[in-house]
Each structure stands twice: as C-alpha cells, then as structure tokens.
Structure 1
Amino acid sequence: MTPGTMEGKICFITGATSGIGLESARALARQGATVVLSGRDKGRGEAALAEVRRTVPDAKLDLLLADLTSMASVRQLVSDFQARYSRLDVLLNNAGLILDRRKVTADGFEATFATNHLAHFLLTNLLLDMLKSSGAARVVNVASEGHRFVSLDFLDDPQAERGSYSGTQVYSSSKLANILFSRALAKRLTGTKVTSNSLHPGVVRTGFGHNSEGFFKHLVKLASPFMLSAEGGARTSVYLASAPEVEGVTAKYFAKCKVARESKAAQDDAAAEKLWRMSAELVGVG
C-alpha cells in the first residue's frame, strides 16, 4: 500500500496487541492513519505500541483497554473511544478466541461466541452513528474458512449448551456468525456510504490458539512451519480497510485480497436475520 494514503483516517482495531491485529495496525499506521489499538492487557498494549513505533517511528497510535468477554467492558470501550474521537473511518473487528472447554462469561454467555461474535456485534452497533457520519467508512470482520465446517444448526444452540463441547466446532460457528453478521449489517447500511465485508486471513502463524490446552494447541504447533506470517495474514484485512478499489464494495467475503464464495450457509439471509435478532436481544441493542 502507498504511504500516506490513509492520512487523516481513524482506524479502530480489536485484538490489536499481537498477531494479525498488530500487523494490521502497523500497515495502516505506515499509510498515515491514526490507529487505535484495543486489547485486554495494558502491558501487552504498551509493548504493541512500542513495536509499531520501532518500524514506523512517526506512527499516530492510541491504546484502549477492554475485555471483550464482557458486554459492559465493550460499552465502556465505546464510551472511551467516543470521548477521544469524533469520527471513525475503519472498524476492524479482528479479536478472536478458541477454547478447549466450555467457559461462561460474567454475562452468562459461552466465551467464544461472546468474544468472537457478540462483542463485535455490540461494538459495531454502538459505533454505527459515528461510522455513518464519517462518510465512506468501512467495517471489516475477520472470519475464517473454518466457517465451512459447520451448519446453521448452531443457531438453535448458540451457547453450545447441548451435547459434548467441541472448541473447534464452536469457533467455526462463531466464524460463520461473523459472515452472517457482516451480511446483515450491509443490508442495514443500504443508502449510506458505509460498507461491511468479511474475510479469511489465511492460516496464520501467530499466538492464536495458545490459550487452548489440548488437541488444537498441538495441531497448531505441528502446522506452524507451513502457516503464513502474521504480516501475510494481515494483508486482506489491510486491503479491505484501505484499498481505493474496494470503496463502495459491500456484503462480500474476501480471501487473498479477492472476492471469494462463502459457504451456502453463510449466504442465507433468513439465517442472518435470525442471528441479528437473537444477538440484539442478548446484548440489549435495538
């Protein structure tokens, strides 16, 4: 991307203190954007700022802390952001979680569904007015090809309360939710200049999955030599956030910086509407 092409733009990235979120922040800062990084841990957040400034000395950066397993924390994150900024040009919903065992958040939600979908659903909805008032803004949702491994049956048990818990299946369901959410959001943004797209970053060699304790962590370790670097995994996110040629493009799923065909389930508009209504009720938005 050309340096300076994002000058004057405000970009907000969740899960930005490591992995593809950090590399997305670096790339957008290199283009001149003001990049607001969101993460859970202050120490890791400050280390991320220092790491970006190591390679982009004049980077315009900010750090906001939030725990995306908590909807109250998401609401506070929005309040903190709006206290500092009057516009938002790019919202990159990047944070992700996978667990071996079912965990329930303080709100009573299954943790992977809460972090990967509900937190971003709430965050985006609370920032919609700001996005709309900023002109040709973009919402970019990091999904995964893993969405192909599950069906729409997850909508009947979104909290994974029935049967034995499979971390990979729950994660894949949350990635299907990301695409359905992106699709339903694009529909609601019709008539505005704001776009909503989702993407597959590739199979990326990062710290993702290291909070897992069993088979998935072992699988990640074995596959690591064959995976993309975090920088490579960030390319499609950065492309959707900044490339002039995708301005106005919406309701699409991308892989390797190109439009890709999502699964049949991910194209189901009725399912997208069902998920939207369910999510709105769970997190308390209109």
Structure 2
Amino acid sequence: MMETSTDVRNRVFLITGGTSGVGKAIASSLARRGARIVIVSRNQERGEEAVKAIAETTGNDRADYLVADLSLQSSIRNMSEAFKRKYDHLHVLANVGGAVYFEKQLTSEGIEQSFAVNYLSHFLVTNELLDMLKESGPSRVITVAGAPRFLKNAQIDFEDIQQVNKFSGMRATAQAMFARVAFSYELARRLERTGVTAVAFHPGLVRSNLIRTAPWFIKLYGKLANRRAKTNCEVGVHLAVAKDVETINGVFFDDTMQIMPLPHLQDEQVGRRLWSISEELTSLTPPTARKPHP
C-alpha cells in the first residue's frame, strides 16, 4: 500500500495540463486526498469547469486554476508570476501538459508548436518556479514521458531539434518526449543537495484527448484505446506524495513504479547540450553568455 506524506493537506501542487488526460487524473486523485492543487488551463472557461468538476467529484473546494498558453513563453512567465503572487510555497510541480500536432506550425514567438508545448513549456515553467521549489523543500518535480520501449534507444536530433526541416507529427512528439526525459535527468543533476528532486515517469494508458487534431483514422484508434484506458494515474500520484520516493532523484519510473535505466538519455553531455539550447530558446541566458547550437 502506498505510504503518503502526512502533511499532504498543507502542501501545494501545481499541475500543468490539469484539465484533461494525465493532468486531470493526477489532480483529481490529489484533491481526494485533501491537497491544495492548482491546475494550469489553456483558458478561463476550461479552468473554471475543471475546478468545479473537482469540487463536485472529490468534495475538495480548495482547487484553483491559472491560465497559460503553454505554447507561448510570455504566457508561461505571466502564469508563473501570478502563481508567485498568490502562493507562498510550491511543494510539487507536475509537468504533464502536452498535445500532438500533425501539421508543422510556428508559434508567434517563432518556436515550432509541438516542441514549444511538449518540451520547452516544461523547461520554462520549472525554471521560472525553481527558486520557490527550493524555498519550499523538500519538494519535487515530476515530468511525464512515454513508454520505456520507445525510450531505450532514443536519440535527440540536435541538428534539427525542433524538427522543422523534416516535420512529422509523430516524430516531433517523440523528439519532445526524448527531450523531456533528458531534461529531467539533467535537472536532477543540477538539483543535487538543494532539497528538490526530479524524476520522469510513464503514466500508462490514461484516457485523454491528446490526438484531438489527428486525422480520422488516428482518432478512431484513439477512441478504441480510450475504451480500455484508465481514468487515474497511480504512478503520478505516488511520485507526488509517497514518502518512499521523497529523496529519489534522477530516475525514470515506468507505469508499474519500477525504475528503468535509459542510458542514452542519461548521458551528461546530452543533458548539458540540451540545457544550453533550451536556455537560448527561452532567453534564460544573457546574449553574451549564449553559445550557438547546431
């Protein structure tokens, strides 16, 4: 049986993508435990609906939402500032927002949409709130990823990391997924002895609308998959609240809560290179300190 933190009611959980899919599943489970949860929603209407549904189904009326377009760095920064104005602590950041895009499109900030939403948003939200996480320690960053069978031999294409030159929806999604895992490992290395830990996890098959923009035949497959999908995410909740993982740092968990080695994505050179590119793409380093990337 899972051992949960005794002070879960006094801990603050921020969940990106908390209105559907894995984010919704984690948010609902945490709310049932009495946690104070804050979900990130694409717009006010969806946020209000999600918070209302959580209160009705769990009896927890302390759920809150903040609005952010995860494809836009300016929106993420505004959301992060709003969070810091409203809350004094952040104990768990769950990076679980995402979407699948089947056509190449650039955001108004010049970033490929899939890479912006499925990877850079996680990098930026984490860095914007990192000081608060450190001040609130012990705290955790948990980041969703894919199935281990897709990750064991994963390679990040640093020559075309946003997949703009040879775009396909599934390949772009995979590259962002690989980047999330490598980011999580690198984040863990940078967080050693800070009181903050970072892990990545595979959520298993959870009901979602990730492929809402897919061609009809993929949507049909998605509908069939959703029939056998879960509406909860045990591993995500476990990593957010369990005492026995409080000090575990820099690992990947599969959906059975087993630690899986992913040597290609654990490589320190890969992590450092990805971090440097991510800093440049999000303007987290001053121009004089930036280095060109391939």
So what's the TM-score if we normalise by structure 1? 0.93
**Residue number in structure 1 paired with 2:69:** 67
Quote the Cα distance in structure 2 between the aligned partners of 1:153 and 1:283.
19
Quote the Cα distance in structure 2 between the aligned partners of 1:224 and 1:177.
26
* Alignment pair present for 1:276 and 2:275: yes
Measured after TM superposition, the shift of residue 158 of structure 1 is 1.1
Indicate if the aligned counterparts of 1:32 and 1:59 stay in contact, CA closer than 8 A: no
User: Unmatched 5+ residue regions in structure 2?
Assistant: 286-294
Indicate if the aligned counterparts of 1:68 and 1:115 stay in contact, CA closer than 8 A: yes
**Residue number in structure 2 paired with 1:118:** 120
Quote the Cα distance in structure 1 between the aligned partners of 2:189 and 2:282.
20
* Alignment pair present for 1:6 and 2:8: yes
Q: Which moved more, 1:204-213 or 1:12-21?
A: 204-213
Measured after TM superposition, the shift of residue 93 of structure 1 is 0.4
**Residue number in structure 1 paired with 2:289:** none
2:132 corresponds to which of 130, 133, 144: 130
Q: Which moved more, 1:254-263 or 1:238-247?
A: 254-263
Quote the Cα distance in structure 1 between the aligned partners of 2:97 and 2:254.
18
User: Which secondary structure state, in structure 2, belongs to the residue aligned with residue 43 of structure 1?
Assistant: helix
**Residue number in structure 2 paired with 1:244:** 243
User: Which secondary structure state, in structure 2, belongs to the residue aligned with residue 7 of structure 1?
Assistant: helix
Measured after TM superposition, the shift of residue 147 of structure 1 is 4.4
Quote the Cα distance in structure 1 between the aligned partners of 2:199 and 2:275.
16
Measured after TM superposition, the shift of residue 98 of structure 1 is 0.7
Quote the Cα distance in structure 1 between the aligned partners of 2:193 and 2:7.
26
Quote the Cα distance in structure 2 between the aligned partners of 1:220 and 1:36.
28
**Residue number in structure 2 paired with 1:155:** 158
2:25 corresponds to which of 20, 23, 26: 23
Q: Which moved more, 1:54-63 or 1:181-190?
A: 54-63
Quote the Cα distance in structure 1 between the aligned partners of 2:153 and 2:77.
30
Indicate if the aligned counterparts of 1:138 and 1:194 stay in contact, CA closer than 8 A: yes
User: Which secondary structure state, in structure 1, belongs to the residue aligned with residue 60 of structure 2?
Assistant: coil
Quote the Cα distance in structure 2 between the aligned partners of 1:126 and 1:154.
26
User: Unmatched 5+ residue regions in structure 1?
Assistant: none
Quote the Cα distance in structure 2 between the aligned partners of 1:243 and 1:13.
17
Indicate if the aligned counterparts of 2:156 and 2:178 stay in contact, CA closer than 8 A: no
Indicate if the aligned counterparts of 2:14 and 2:39 stay in contact, CA closer than 8 A: yes
Which amino acid in 2 is paired with 1:128? L
**Residue number in structure 1 paired with 2:146:** 144
Quote the Cα distance in structure 1 between the aligned partners of 2:175 and 2:162.
10
Measured after TM superposition, the shift of residue 215 of structure 1 is 4.7
Indicate if the aligned counterparts of 2:15 and 2:96 stay in contact, CA closer than 8 A: yes
So what's the TM-score if we normalise by structure 2? 0.90
**Residue number in structure 2 paired with 1:91:** 93
Per-residue displacement from partner, 1:136-182 (whole Å, max 9, x unpaired)?
Answer: 1000001112742874242221111223x221111111111111000
**Residue number in structure 2 paired with 1:261:** 260
**Residue number in structure 2 paired with 1:219:** 221
Quote the Cα distance in structure 1 between the aligned partners of 2:156 and 2:36.
40
Which amino acid in 1 is paired with 2:231? A
Quote the Cα distance in structure 2 between the aligned partners of 1:257 and 1:196.
18
Quote the Cα distance in structure 1 between the aligned partners of 2:231 and 2:210.
10
User: Which secondary structure state, in structure 2, belongs to the residue aligned with residue 162 of structure 1?
Assistant: coil
Q: How many residues align?
A: 282
Per-residue displacement from partner, 1:244-276 (whole Å, max 9, x unpaired)?
Answer: 110100101011252332443222221111100
**Residue number in structure 1 paired with 2:230:** 229
Quote the Cα distance in structure 1 between the aligned partners of 2:260 and 2:25.
26
Indicate if the aligned counterparts of 2:32 and 2:59 stay in contact, CA closer than 8 A: no
Which amino acid in 2 is paired with 1:230? T
User: Which secondary structure state, in structure 2, belongs to the residue aligned with residue 91 of structure 1?
Assistant: strand
Which amino acid in 1 is paired with 2:236? S
User: Which secondary structure state, in structure 1, belongs to the residue aligned with residue 106 of structure 2?
Assistant: coil
Indicate if the aligned counterparts of 1:149 and 1:169 stay in contact, CA closer than 8 A: no
Measured after TM superposition, the shift of residue 30 of structure 1 is 1.7
